[in-house]
Amino acid sequence: MSALETINFTRGVPAIESFPTAELAACATTVLAQSGDAILQYGPAAGLAPLRTWLAEWQGVKPEQILTGNGSLELVQFLCTAMIKPGDVVFTESPSYDRAINLFRRNGANVIGVPLQADGPDMDALEALLAQHKPKLFYVIPDFQNPSGATCSTAKRKRLVELAEQHDILLLEDAPYRLLRYRGTEEPTLFELAPHRVLHMTSFTKLIAPGVRLGFMKGDAAILAKIGKVAEDTYISPGYFAHGVTYEWLRAGNLGPQIAKLKALYAPRLEAILAALDKYIPDAVATRPDGGFFLSLTLPEGVSTTDLRAAAAERNMNLADGLAFFPQGGGERFLRLPFCAMTATQIEEGIKRLAECVKAVRK
Amino acid sequence: MSALETINFTRGVPAIESFPTAELAACATTVLAQSGDAILQYGPAAGLAPLRTWLAEWQGVKPEQILTGNGSLELVQFLCTAMIKPGDVVFTESPSYDRAINLFRRNGANVIGVPLQADGPDMDALEALLAQHKPKLFYVIPDFQNPSGATCSTAKRKRLVELAEQHDILLLEDAPYRLLRYRGTEEPTLFELAPHRVLHMTSFTKLIAPGVRLGFMKGDAAILAKIGKVAEDTYISPGYFAHGVTYEWLRAGNLGPQIAKLKALYAPRLEAILAALDKYIPDAVATRPDGGFFLSLTLPEGVSTTDLRAAAAERNMNLADGLAFFPQGGGERFLRLPFCAMTATQIEEGIKRLAECVKAVRK
């Protein structure tokens, strides 16, 4: 590839070549012929009934324990409207998903970061923070975390739900990458460990495509009813058209093969980026994730992400702002690198350019 | 029809038999084959680019003057997040759309009702209220108003934009029924009269189907950019899948014939409900709308909507709560009657039952 081609190490977008486009077209034809009236009319804000039932069976819960929405991020907003008052404390990992931090703040929350380690939140720091604050909730991304790529260990998951129990805190578990594990073995979800303490959230954005705008929350029916009422008051019904097509696609048994296809596509890209980092920037400390969309770097001493972004822009490369992931500062040398939407060739070229940038800005 | 069949005079749902289901299926196949990548990937929160361009050309504005969303109601929420602070005054007509009133309140607005007359807001009352308050915006539904069925006269529209100009007020013009005129001649939109003063809002819910969840705002590009940023922060992108299908349906020239089909379906239903009211409840005062989804009744003296709803429930009939449409009280004898989703036979039976209820509860 040419040095002039733009490279984006910015957001966690899925690879276009992974989209099951023709399958979705066939499902649209089928579901419109069979259930057109239901997916074109208004209906319950909690979700299209057969979809909710399918998701509930898949997840081993009752349909009323599922709340669907137009992507999972917006469900966080509805949760905030239902539960967060200005001044309420919300814990997130630090770093955490910048859009979630932004939403909590927009709703007036005082967002406090719990330092994240390679195996999950720093438990000593969490306990110290719990001695000072009474958070309304702790937002955590236990699997292949955004932005770090870290996965929380089973031991820390267990301790986390214990602490949530002791301190009467709701855990908001965001798990959009969980099913994209490229190596290693699965840890239990927080929801599995303490279903009454956890709202578990996931999405088909990374498994099918962002365009279907389908995410869901799983948890206590009474809490979800409250959040669902906010959803109804906001948009009456979610996007039944795309949700109906997605339901048909799920019902037809496409999810398993699609996940296998995604792993086959993305696992070599993770290998490629790790190899390129070892080759071109050996002195940057990279997380070595077992799945998901991101790894992250701690840049060498003296190299700031801000300087690096400017140098990258001169080389036709876009990098994400590191600072936005840290609710209370830090992240000056933090760099998130999404790798799923790039070919191995683009990854190699991207990391090569990144190394040039590091060299150029190093003081 | 049987007296046991449930009749719903509740929400403004479109008739299922009006949905262009097979056309939408064909459009889904076409657009996924041609532009699958774009409608399945993330993209700008303001809307799918070709759709925005099509809407702009249709509406005679620039693409940056169009903000699409998952239905128009949610755009009101985004506008509130962008512009309304707790304690801000918002004017609405009284009665007005209950879900909009509810959203303004949820955002902390002090909602003040401007009494509505058969030809639009009471201008003397509006001037008196403007002497006391400085509203952030005035939410108006000039065409076939929800819930009353009233249409604002051209003279009042002109006065409204004059007053908005004098008092530096934004007008939020909600026009989801405008293209469904069954008789009479079109009045100018507020946007046509004062484009810089008005955010005009409409939706394809009543023209295609609720399931496509496609509404849009038209107006000042800078204001829409601010509202669009709130949208991005909330859901990243709107429902591109359904919006892409709708774009293809619009592009293929289906809107004109669809509107003709809807008018042919709904106009006789309006005639049927007016005739049935004249026959069965001649002493209730009905609005006589020229289009849209609703007419409204002022019930005879001594008959309250609350009592009537209870009596209707005993006769397998659901009526909407009248009080929720009035931001500051009133509406005890107000009844909204949606007529589009009912056959002439159901309408006749419904109004007959309604007459029985009126007789039963009259004191």
- Give the tens place of pLDDT for each residue, A307-356: 999 999 999 999 999 999 999 999 999 999 999 999 999 999 999 999 99
CATH at residue B146: 3.40.640.10
Residue with tokens 């001044």: A87
Q: What is the mean pLDDT of chain A?
A: 96
Q: Are residues A137 and A276 in the same domain?
A: no
Task: Count CB atoms within 10 A of the CB of residue B4.
Answer: 7
Q: Which residues of B262-289 are buried (b: 16+ CB within 10 A; e: fewer)?
A: bbeebbebbebbbebbeebbeebebbeb
Interface with B, mutate which of A11, A27, A31, A70 (most B CBs under 10 A): A70
Contact at 8 Å (CB) between B14 and B211? Answer: no
Q: Are residues B272 and B295 in the same domain?
A: yes
Q: What are the phi and psi torsion angles at A109 (to 5°)?
A: -70, 150
Residue A280 pairs in a beta bridge with none
> Which pLDDT does position A3 carry in this prediction?
64
pLDDT, greater one: B3 or B171: B171
pLDDT category at B362 given cuts 50, 70, 90 is confident
Q: What is the mean pLDDT of residues B173-177?
A: 98
Q: Are residues B93 and B207 in the same domain?
A: yes
Contact at 8 Å (CB) between B255 and B333? Answer: no
- Give the tens place of pLDDT for each residue, A12-27: 999 999 999 999 999 9
In order, the DSSP letters of A92-157 are EEES--HHHHHHHHHTT-EEEEEEEETTEE-HHHHHHHHHH---SEEEE--SS-TTT-----HHHH
Of chain B, the percentage scoring pLDDT greater than 90 comes to 95
> Which pLDDT does position A4 carry in this prediction?
76
Q: Are residues A86 and A110 in the same domain?
A: yes
Interface with A, mutate which of B40, B85, B204 (most A CBs under 10 A): B40
CATH at residue A304: 3.90.1150.10
Residue B39 lies in a domain: yes
Residue B2, pLDDT > 70, answer no
pLDDT, greater one: B363 or B47: B47
Residue B3 lies in a domain: no
Out of B251, B285, B311, a domain closes at B251
Q: Name the residue in chain A with its Cα closest to that of B48.
A: A211
Domain hosting A30: range is 21-251
Please report residues of B whose CB lies closer than 8 A to that of A22: 32-33
Residue B258 lies in a domain: no
Q: What is the pTM of this model?
A: 0.97
Please report residues of B whose CB lies closer than 8 A to that of A21: 32-33, 36-37, 40
| 3-state class (DSSP) for residue A270 | helix
Inter-chain touch A32–B16, beta carbons under 8 Å: no
ipTM of the prediction = 0.97
> Which pLDDT does position B1 carry in this prediction?
61
Q: Are residues A13 and A101 in the same domain?
A: no
Residue B277, pLDDT > 90, answer yes
Partner residue opposite B41 with nearest CB, options A28, A77, A211: A211
pLDDT category at B3 given cuts 50, 70, 90 is low
Q: Name the residue in chain B with its Cα closest to that of A99.
A: B233
> Which pLDDT does position A2 carry in this prediction?
67
Residue with tokens 């486009």: A21
Q: Are residues B53 and B188 in the same domain?
A: yes
In the DSSP assignment, the letter for residue A15 is: P
| Separation CA A221–CA A36 (nearest Å) | 28
Residue B10 lies in a domain: no
Q: What is the mean pLDDT of residues B135-146?
A: 98
Interface with B, mutate which of A24, A85, A241 (most B CBs under 10 A): A241
Q: What is the mean pLDDT of residues B289-305?
A: 94
Inter-chain touch B40–A19, beta carbons under 8 Å: yes
Q: Are residues A13 and A155 in the same domain?
A: no
Pairing of strands B137-140, B89-94: parallel
Inter-chain touch A103–B233, beta carbons under 8 Å: yes
Q: Are residues A12 and A144 in the same domain?
A: no
Inter-chain touch B16–A41, beta carbons under 8 Å: yes
Out of B251, B272, B288, a domain closes at B251
Residue B66, pLDDT > 80, answer yes
Residue B165, pLDDT > 90, answer yes
> Which pLDDT does position A97 carry in this prediction?
98
| Separation CA B10–CA B16 (nearest Å) | 16
Q: Are residues B113 and B216 in the same domain?
A: yes
> Which pLDDT does position A362 carry in this prediction?
85
Task: Give the closest residue to A335 by CA, choosing from A290, A291, A281, A275.
Answer: A281
Which tokens hold the place of A326? 């840290």
Q: Are residues A202 and A244 in the same domain?
A: yes
Task: Give the closest residue to A92 by CA, choosing from A124, A115, A108.
Answer: A115
Inter-chain touch A22–B11, beta carbons under 8 Å: no
Number of domains in chain A: 2
Q: Are residues A98 and A233 in the same domain?
A: yes
Residue B257 lies in a domain: no
Query: What order of strands is seen across the sheet that includes strand A137-140?
Result: A66-69, A215-218, A198-203, A170-174, A137-140, A89-94, A110-117, A120-121
> Which pLDDT does position B147 carry in this prediction?
97
Q: Are residues B282 and B190 in the same domain?
A: no
Inter-chain touch A240–B210, beta carbons under 8 Å: yes
Residue B11 lies in a domain: no
Q: What is the mean pLDDT of residues B240-257?
A: 98
Residue B277 lies in a domain: yes
pLDDT category at B139 given cuts 50, 70, 90 is very high
> Which pLDDT does position A1 carry in this prediction?
61
Residue B113, pLDDT > 70, answer yes
- Alpha helices (H) in B252-343, listed in sequence order: 255-280, 305-314
CA A279, chain centre distance (Å)? 28
pLDDT category at B4 given cuts 50, 70, 90 is confident
Q: What is the mean pLDDT of chain B?
A: 96
Inter-chain touch B209–A22, beta carbons under 8 Å: no
> Which pLDDT does position A249 carry in this prediction?
98
Size of interface A-B (CB pairs under 8 A): 160
- The Cα of A285 is separated from the nearest Cα of chain B by a number of Å equal to 30
Residue A91 pairs in a beta bridge with A112, A138
For chain A, report the end-to-end CA distance as a whole number of angstroms: 30
What residues of chain A score a pLDDT lower than 50?
none
| Separation CA A325–CA A147 (nearest Å) | 7
Out of A229, A251, A273, a domain closes at A251
Residue B256 lies in a domain: no
